[in-house]
Amino acid sequence: MSYKRLFSKSLEADPDRLHIAAHSHHLWPDASRVGQMRCWDDAAALADHKWDKVMGEVWPEAAANVAAELGMGNDQWRRIVFAGNTHDFIIRLAAACPRRAGGPLRILTSDGEFHSARRQFARWVEAGEITLETVAVDPFDSFAERFTARAAEGAHDLVMVSQVLFGSGRVVAPLDALVELGQPEGSWVVIDGYHSFMAFEAPFPRGWSDKAFFLGGGYKYAMAGEGMGFMCCPPGFGPRPPLTGWFAEFEDLTLPPGMVGYAEDAMRFMGATFDPSALYRWNAIKGMLIAEGLDTATINAHVAALQEQAVEALAGTVLGEAELLNPIDGGPHARFLAYRHERAADWCAALKAEGCVTDVRGEVIRFGFGLYHDARDVDALAALAKTL
């Protein structure tokens, strides 16, 4: 089955490109352009009053779509807040998290986190603003147990870990015991779900949303592009975040001058004026998926078939010499294959020279598939790999 027709404009924009990086910059479906134009048209027609529509219709719809995908149920949409990116939320969380020891914020994380968190944490350590402890991902088979056990000792204020490790594509599970450690007074548990949102079915169920934060975005598998970072916020955690913008009291702009009010729902973590176009794109894409009868399970099945084909086809190339860090085992799987080899960067560069877009992280080359791929794309990738 091919769904290339849903991505006609992105594919026609560069017909010679073989884009095997859906896990990185996912190509935009045609529906996203429809959403973008709706945003423009509303701004033109409504001007100052566009915010009534954005906050009264577009935002609730987008939040409900996120909540439903997470597995919380769309009726829990008020637990969702949006920002331009998840880095914004990392900063707001660090500022709001209780410092139970009275000194710098104590953070526990892994040594396999995404660059945004890794870089920010390292800089805060330099500045003396936090203390940081990292748990080694390897050996991976015991990682979830080791990480949860360390978090359970209660020596940290903020505990953050990825549900899918961005470098290797390995799935961190189970997380139930870790999530249960979350308390309003600390520790706060934060699950980075950027590589699980719309790649896993119901990655953050309602029970978890009572205890933990979840970070995700629209840039990858949601296909909505940049500008749609989101956070799920458990009730009662951080009622008055110190980093705050005027949208955090958007629903009540009649407060007396000088009073710092907050919404009681996830909007309490809101910033200031933002670009709503990503929310329009996201809603239009969800509409497309519903009309096409495509849910996450269906997309996963499509991608899984391509991944199985790719593993078999690449085994007969130089990639057969590499270590596949996230083998296909029938369980939940990242939307990319991660191969580790000392020549990974060279292979990535050589493929790029032939018009094939992949990406590399250190000694790991990653191949990501999505709805805009079919079996012919895998065959094309394997043919290029044979020339490496």
3-class secondary structure for the chain?
CCCHHHHHHHHHHCCCCEECECCCCCCCCHHHHHHHHHHHHHHHHHHHHHHHHHHHHHHHHHHHHHHHHHCCCHHHHHHEEEECCHHHHHHHHHHHCCCCCCCCEEEEEECCCCHHHHHHHHHHHHHCCEEEEEECCCCHHHHHHHHHHHHHCCCCCEEEEECECCCCCCECCCCHHHHCCCCCCCCEEEEECCCCECCECCCCCHHHHCCCEEEEECCCCCCCCCCCEEEECCCCCCCCCCCCCHHHHCCCCCCCCCCCCCCCCHHHHCCCCCCCHHHHHHHHHHHHHHHHCCCHHHHHHHHHHHHHHHHHHHCCCHHHHCEECCCCCCCCCCCEEEEECCCHHHHHHHHHHCCEECEEECCEEEEECCCCCCHHHHHHHHHHHCCC
Give per-residue pLDDT as tens, 29-43.
999 999 999 999 999
Q: What is the CATH number for 157?
A: 3.40.640.10
How many distinct structural domains can be found in the chain? Answer: 2
Report the pLDDT value the prediction gives residue 115, as an integer from 0 to 100. Answer: 86
Whether 156 and 278 share a structural domain: yes
Residue 325 and residue 278 share a domain: no
Same domain, 272 and 350: no
| Listed residues 288, 303, 328: the one ending a domain | 288
* 183/162 same-domain check: yes
Query: Considering 239, 254, 288, which residue would you say is the last residue of a domain?
Result: 288
What is the span of the domain harbouring residue 23? 4-30+294-385
Q: 86 with 193, same domain?
A: yes
CATH number at residue 308: 3.90.1150.10
21 with 100, same domain: the answer is no
For the full predicted model, state whether its pTM sits above 0.75.
Answer: yes
- pLDDT for the residue 253: 53
Same domain, 19 and 67: no
Residues 271 and 331 grouped into a single domain: no
The answer on 38 and 26 residing in a single domain is: no
Same domain? 48 vs 186: yes
> Which residue, 242, 271, 288, sits at the end of a domain?
288
Query: 105 with 240, same domain?
Result: yes
279 and 300, same domain (yes or no):
no
Give me the residues of the chain with pLDDT under 70, please.
Answer: 250-258
